Amino acid sequence: MAFLHGATKSKSGGGSALKKRSLTPYLLLAPGLIWLITFFVIPIFSLASTSTMVRPQGAQIGTYVQELRFANYVDAFLANQEQYVRSFLYAGIATILALAISYPLAYMIAFKAGKYRNILLVLVVAPFFTSFLLRTVAWSQILGDEGPVLSTLRLLPFVDESLRLTATPFAVVSGLTYNFLPFMTLPLYASLERIDPRTLEASGDLYASGFTTFRKVTVPLSMPGVVAGTLLTFIPAAGDYVNAALLGNPSTKMIGNVIESRFFAVVDYPTAAALSFTLMATILILVTLYIRKSGTDELV
């Protein structure tokens, strides 16, 4: 009897311990879930609700009622389609430029830097120590009429004295490329650094040239870094408005500038919310297609 009682007690205690262990993952997930629900899910639903509101006739500015008017999306897109196209065009050009600059840099740090690797990585992330806004203002000074870039260009005989770089698409794309360059470089470095050097040596042993090894071995193995870097660059660049506001002019406005203006200047919340949702949906579709096309679905 004593043996059976002890076995029953042991079984009961084991079941309690098992139940506690089964609840542990959920308890660990709880803070993150609460954070996501509070600061992501609820705001998204609030934004969705706002996007279908209308302003009653005679109501004061900022007063809207829910009428489920989905035509807000069509009206907002048709009125700002030029800014949409410009945003994705600028973001795409900036992403390509960032990739062209970052890949050689990341390759050099991963394979050629040696003892200077850590110093170079610190230099890559050093811009993050300064405010995004201040970096953009500094870029406006660099590209200004009296800045070092334009002053140097004017020394060339074929450069017109009336040439300006600020308040141009060139300045906006340059600012986007510069500000998001670390987001491209770091994933590329992480991907390249994981490549086993013996794989590259084996390619050489099979009589592949350096260029062939790079094209057939290095680039395919670094594709996860390329995909991650391009996404981390393109997504925030498409919704950015600081660079266009400080480095551009009214004809270089991006969709982020329109959303910011609708929210804080015009106080047209439904249009701003509809523009925000349309931008998110477009980026989501483009990212999904890009990931599927690149063959890296596991990154989703």
**Does 60 reside within a domain?**
no
**Does 216 reside within a domain?**
yes
**Does 64 reside within a domain?**
no
For the entire predicted model, the pTM comes to 0.85
**Does 65 reside within a domain?**
no
Q: Is the pLDDT of residue 39 over 50?
A: yes
Same domain, 207 and 81: yes
Same domain, 143 and 271: yes
Q: What is the reported pLDDT for 299?
A: 47
Structural domain of 236:
71-299
Same domain, 46 and 77: no
Same domain, 23 and 129: no
Note the pLDDT tens digit of each residue in 174-227: 999 999 999 999 999 999 999 888 888 888 878 788 888 888 888 899 999 999
* Of the listed ranges 15-24, 40-49, 128-137, the one predicted with least confidence: 15-24
**Does 137 reside within a domain?**
yes
Same domain, 22 and 138: no
Q: What angle do CA 68, 259, 35 make, to 5 degrees?
A: 75
**Does 217 reside within a domain?**
yes
Cα separations in angstroms, 31 against 39, 40, 46, 102: 12, 14, 22, 36
**Does 244 reside within a domain?**
yes
Same domain, 11 and 159: no
Q: What is the reported pLDDT for 229?
A: 94
What CATH code is carried by the domain that includes residue 194?
1.10.3720.10
**Does 61 reside within a domain?**
no
Q: What is the dihedral of CA 149, 151, 152, 158, to 10 degrees?
A: 110
Taking the C-alpha atoms of residue 174 and residue 142, their distance in angstroms, rounded to an integer, is: 11
Same domain, 39 and 77: no
Structure tokens at 169: 């698409």
Count of structural domains within the chain: 2
Structure tokens at 177: 């490329």
Same domain, 130 and 37: no
Q: What is the reported pLDDT for 20?
A: 60
Same domain, 47 and 75: no
Structure tokens at 110: 């991963």
Same domain, 215 and 271: yes
Same domain, 38 and 78: no
Same domain, 120 and 172: yes
Q: Which residues contact 166 (CB under 8 A, 6 or more apart)?
A: 140, 143, 144, 145, 247
Note the pLDDT tens digit of each residue in 259-290: 999 999 888 999 999 999 999 999 999 989 98
Q: Is the pLDDT of residue 108 over 90?
A: yes
Taking the C-alpha atoms of residue 259 and residue 156, their distance in angstroms, rounded to an integer, is: 41
Q: What is the reported pLDDT for 189?
A: 94
